[in-house]
Amino acid sequence: MTIYLHDTRKGKKVPFEPLKDDEVTMYLCGPTVYNYAHIGNARPAVVFDLLARVLRRRYTLIFARNITDVDDKINKMSAETGKPIDEITAKYVKAYNDDMAALGVLPPDVEPFATHHVAEMIEMIRALIDSGHAYEAEGHVLFDVSSYADYGSLSKRNLREMIAGSRVEVAPYKRAAHDFVLWKPSTPDLPGWESPWGVGRPGWHIECSAMAAKHLGRTIDIHGGGQDLVFPHHENELAQSRCAHGGEDFARYWVHNGFLSIDHEKMSKSLGNVVLVHDLIKTIPGEVIRLTLLSGHYRQPLDWSKETIDSARRMLDRLYGAVRGIDVSDSERREAEIPEALVAALEDDLNTPRAMAEFFGLARSLNKATDADERRRLAAQMYAVGDLMGLLQSDPDDWFAGHGESEMSAGTIEEMLEKRRSARAAKRFAEADAIRDELAKAGIQIEDGPEGTTWRRVD
């Protein structure tokens, strides 16, 4: 079987073939640390965490996700609050990692900080100047876009569209409006490093190019990020990396996630609808947030709303309901085989809706199964799928105890009744009674009659 990924540069889904046979390198643009991550920022973190887990089944993966800890937005925050820059960045790096961990995002293999790589950035800028791809002007160093014929090949834009479509800064020291900054001068009140062009700081794009080359090599397999990064950020990373490395390719596959909206509106400060992960995790279990983010295909737009969250919560109730009460050892869980169709769905450009349908198929088989060994085998399989997808990480009893206040859905009730029928048929009466008690606790009264079991909600 082959892994397929949608490559932005080719504009289609293609078979994934890494540079080396057994090792894959992946770089994801990480957060700029001046405030808490919002739920849109969490989408790439969760999507690429899942991709990393899927790749690790087959390959040794080196996954780098950087921290942008030098940026004008950070400087502005420091000026506004009077707090030192290090204090701000340290606080939000920790908050980011804690918040992502709550969503089941595993730490990357490498977490490079931009401020620890200024020497590499300076080296790269020097190589660009030496090869005629960059020029110095009034303490700035700019990339000369006209020197690179393939500029626009990733975002499929021509130069006129690029200038019209983005707020390129027109500055007197630029030879052309679309030339972008590699280095800029710093005044004493701003972070600055000694360089051949005076005391200054790097532009944003050069950071990722330098850190990717340092930790993953000149040509990486996968470069990821949100769709908004295709232009200009990734187009610029691509241009400067190739030009600094004598034309060698930078990333073999470019993978971008779609955007997340809030109740069908763009999330923005001016609309006052920015939802922070830090706040969400106080009231919504991390797995519900994770599954909401994975419920649609990663390339599609995703709407964050009460309905999408409730639907993910109900899905998890069904999954936890199926494995509840079945003892599975750690080794059974580790060794259980993941159904092939489910792996195939994930390896098909991370088709999470199809993978979830397979997951529910497994839950249905488990609910119907009567043989104790078979039930343990299926439950172990469900946990193994959970471990792959970053779900089912809680004890089922804790899961239900944690949010007993939410109304049990009809689907969950029907599934529990199905389980109870199976338990009774197999003469596991204690289990059948436990299910009835659990339903009663959730305000569901059941009645056994000649036609089967009926249920109703009671206050």
Q: Which residues bind ligand AMP (CB under 6 A)?
A: 29, 31-32, 40-41, 43-44, 225-226, 228-229, 257, 259-260, 267
Q: How distant is the alpha carbon of residue 11 from its chain centre?
A: 21
- In this structure, are strands 444-449 and 140-143 parallel, antiparallel, or unpaired? unpaired
**Smallest distance from ligand AMP to CB 152, Å:** 19
CA distance 245 to 210: 11
Minimum CB distance to Zn ion, residue 65 (Å):
10
Position with the least CB separation from ligand AMP: 226
Given Zn ion, ligand AMP, none, residue 367, with its beta carbon under 5 to 8 Å by kind, binds: none
With CB cut-offs between 5 and 8 Å by kind, which of Zn ion, ligand AMP, none does residue 208 bind? Zn ion
Q: How far is the CB of 364 from ligand AMP (least distance, A)?
A: 32
CB neighbours (10 Å) of residue 341? 13
CB of 214 to ligand AMP, least distance (A): 20
Nearest to 110 by CA among 203, 220, 212: 212
Pick the closer one to Zn ion by CB: 71 or 144.
Answer: 71
Stretch that binds Zn ion, among 45-53, 207-215, 270-278, 343-351 (CB under 5 A): 207-215
- Considering beta carbons, is residue 41 or 186 the nearer one to ligand AMP? 41
Q: Which does 41 bind (CB under 5 to 8 A by kind): ligand AMP, Zn ion, none?
A: ligand AMP
18 binds, among ligand AMP, Zn ion, none (CB under 5 to 8 A by kind): none
User: Number of helices and strands (H, E) in the chain?
Assistant: 17, 15
Return the number of the residue (253 or 399) whose C-beta is nearest ligand AMP: 253
Residue carrying structure tokens 């469900």: 382
**Residue 40's binding partner, choosing from ligand AMP, Zn ion, none, with beta-carbon cut-off 5 to 8 A by kind?**
ligand AMP
- Catalogue the long-range contacts made by 52-55 (C-beta closer than 8 Å, 24 or more residues apart): 52/26, 52/106, 52/108, 53/106, 53/388, 53/389, 53/390, 54/3, 54/343, 54/346, 54/347, 54/350, 54/388, 55/3, 55/24, 55/26
| List of residues 6+ apart from 13 with CB closer than 8 A | 4, 5, 6, 7, 349
Residue type, position 177, single letter:
A
Give the whole-angstrom CA distance, residue 217 versus residue 209. Answer: 10
Task: Tell me the C-alpha distance between 162 and 175, whole Å.
Answer: 16
Choose between 114 and 423: whose C-beta lies nearer to ligand AMP.
114
Nearer to Zn ion, 42 or 208 (CB): 208
Contact 255, 10 (CB under 8 A): no
Task: Please report, as residue ranges, which positions from 29 to 88 form the binding site for Zn ion (by CB under 5 A).
Answer: 29
CB contact at 8 A, 425 and 383 = no
- Of 50 and 208, nearer to Zn ion (C-beta) is 208
CB of 41 to ligand AMP, least distance (A): 4
Residue 83 vs residues 31, 37, 88, 316, 437: alpha-carbon distances, Å: 19, 19, 7, 42, 55
The option from Zn ion, ligand AMP, none interacting with 259 (CB < 5 to 8 A, set by class) reads ligand AMP
Which of the stretches 204-212, 352-360, 379-387, 422-430 binds Zn ion when contact is defined by CB under 5 A?
204-212
Closest distance of CB 153 from Zn ion, Å: 17
4 to 33, contacts with Zn ion by CB under 5 A? 29
| Binding partner at 260 among Zn ion, ligand AMP, none, C-beta below 5 to 8 Å by kind | ligand AMP
Separation CA 87–CA 95 (nearest Å): 12
- Pick one of 67, 208, 319, 444: the residue that binds Zn ion (CB under 5 A): 208
For the bound state, the minimum distance from the C-beta of residue 223 to Zn ion, rounded and expressed in Å, comes to: 8
Instruction: Please answer whether residues 420 and 436 qualify as being in contact, where contact means their C-beta atoms are separated by less than 8 angstroms.
Output: yes
Residue 152 touches which member of ligand AMP, Zn ion, none, C-beta under 5-8 Å by kind: none
Per-residue CA distances from 100 to 43, 78, 312, 384, 388 (Å) = 10, 24, 18, 21, 17
Contact positions toward Zn ion, by CB under 5 A? 29, 208
